[in-house]
Amino acid sequence: MSGVILVSGGAGYIGSHTVLALRERGREVLVLDDLSEGHEAALLGAPLARGSMMDQGFVRGVFRENEISAVFHFAARCYVGESVTDPGKYYRHNVVGTMNLLDAMVETGVKRFVLSSTCATYGEPERIPITEDLPQNPINPYGATKLIDEWMLRDYHRAHGIESVALRYFNAAGADPEGRLGEDHDPETHLIPLVLDAAEGRRDSLTVFGEDYPTPDGTCIRDYVHVTDLAEAHVLALLAMEEGGVGTRHYNLGNAAGTSVLEVIRAVEEVTGKKVPYVVGPRRPGDPPRLVGSAAKIEAELGWKPRFGDIRTIVETAHRWHTSHPDGFPPNS
Ligand code: UDP
């Protein structure tokens, strides 16, 4: 299949794992990233158009100068807590940024789009595991901006024939099983790397955000999904779009397995053989008690099957990455 796959945010965590998956299948990719949060080293040599999605002229130029056949859109702000305290940042990056890409697609006739969406669009779901037909009522600005992105995709499909697959990730975690890539955020806010840091003494202790939730052990339950499995789902979405007739689709990417914060701590203790020092703090605003996703739809329609689904494998791959890269990726040039 000819044409370049444009990967916005391809120097970031899930984006870089997906770039690797595409290149391993012989696909030509171009990463669009301003490296504000991404890492040049995570590109593993993939070509980069360095600039911001917020810069409409730059985005247009990238589309005009390249034979783009599909867009994978990862570049976004993705912290629930920060989205509550700084919503404007989220609406600018996650809504305006997406619109800039879609408008450039309309101008240049590119018709295929894969969106990094999120389980945060469901808010506090009325049923667990969450299926795609449940109402979407986000309870934080991060989820709201991604829901707006999904609406834009529906409307750009009707108006301009852009086909899309929105992948609603549950909690991305783990690292490339071959150790080439991993998670490196600054500051890190995600649970698994923070628990690993606490176990290894890279931080004094972990704060558990609330133990008075209506869950069996009182801590929040999430559905952790391996980043390599997420990357594979993007490849399957692309193949489906290349076959045609996708329209506008939405799929959950979860393992239908809920893991509480205390269970994550226990898994890290088992994998590392070390005690995790932690204290219990207040709830973090915007956190629903329980998010667990059914991926039955993408399994049935695209044949997605997570290979690294269990929490132990997820923690093991993350642990290997953090042990071999205690300072993360080298700095950008
Ligand atoms: N969490 C926690 N302490 C931390 C970071 C996260 O207790 O230092 C909890 C958080 O409240 C949530 C879960 O761990 O219930 C996963 O949080 P994370 O930020 O990794 O992902 P999110 O669910 O926000 O996408």
Q: How far is the CA of 310 from the centre of ligand 1 (A)?
A: 18
Which residue out of 279, 284, 291, 314 has the highest number of ligand 1 atoms within 8 Å of its CB and is therefore the one to mutate? 284
Same domain, 198 and 238: no
Residue nearest to atom 25 of ligand 1 (CA): 171
Residue nearest to atom 21 of ligand 1 (CA): 190
Same domain, 286 and 275: yes
Residues serving a catalytic function are 142
pLDDT for res 287? 87
Say if ligand 1 is within 6 A of residue 284 CB.
yes
Same domain, 244 and 141: yes
Q: How far is the CA of 159 from the centre of ligand 1 (A)?
A: 38
Same domain, 153 and 208: no
Query: pLDDT, tens digit, for every residue of 37-91?
Result: 999 999 999 999 999 999 999 999 999 999 999 999 999 999 988 999 999 999 9
Say if ligand 1 is within 6 A of residue 190 CB.
yes
Q: Which domain holds residue 210?
A: 191-223+256-324
Among candidate residues 260, 278, 259, 282, the one with its CA nearest the CA of residue 199: 278
Same domain, 28 and 113: yes
Q: Is 126 exposed, middle or buried (0-12, 13-18, 19+ CB in 10 A)?
A: exposed
Q: Is residue 45 part of a domain?
A: yes
User: What is the value of pTM for the model shown?
Assistant: 0.97
Same domain, 243 and 275: no
Tell the residue number behind the tokens 């893991």, with chain if given. Answer: 259
Neighbours of 56 (CB within 10 A): 16
For residue 121, give the DSSP letter: G
Which residue out of 116, 222, 227, 279 has the highest number of ligand 1 atoms within 8 Å of its CB and is therefore the one to mutate? 222
Q: For the chain, what is the domain count?
A: 2
Q: Is the peptide bond before 125 cis (omega within 30 degrees of 0)?
A: no
Position 166, amino acid:
A
Say if ligand 1 is within 6 A of residue 49 CB.
no
Residue nearest to atom 24 of ligand 1 (CA): 80
- Ligand 1 atom, smallest distance to 173 CA: 20
Q: Is residue 280 part of a domain?
A: yes
pLDDT for res 107? 98
Q: What is the CATH number of the domain that holds 312?
A: 3.90.25.10
- Ligand 1 atom, smallest distance to 281 CA: 7
Q: Is residue 86 part of a domain?
A: yes
Residue 278's alpha-carbon distances to 155, 205, 207, 213, in angstroms, are 46, 5, 6, 18
Residue ranges of the chain whose pLDDT lies below 50: none
Q: How far is the CA of 189 from the centre of ligand 1 (A)?
A: 7
Residue nearest to atom 4 of ligand 1 (CA): 191
Distance CA 23, CA 40 (A): 16
Distance CA 49, CA 131 (A): 37
Say if CB 248 and CB 112 are below 8 A apart. no
Same domain, 195 and 240: no
pLDDT for res 285? 85
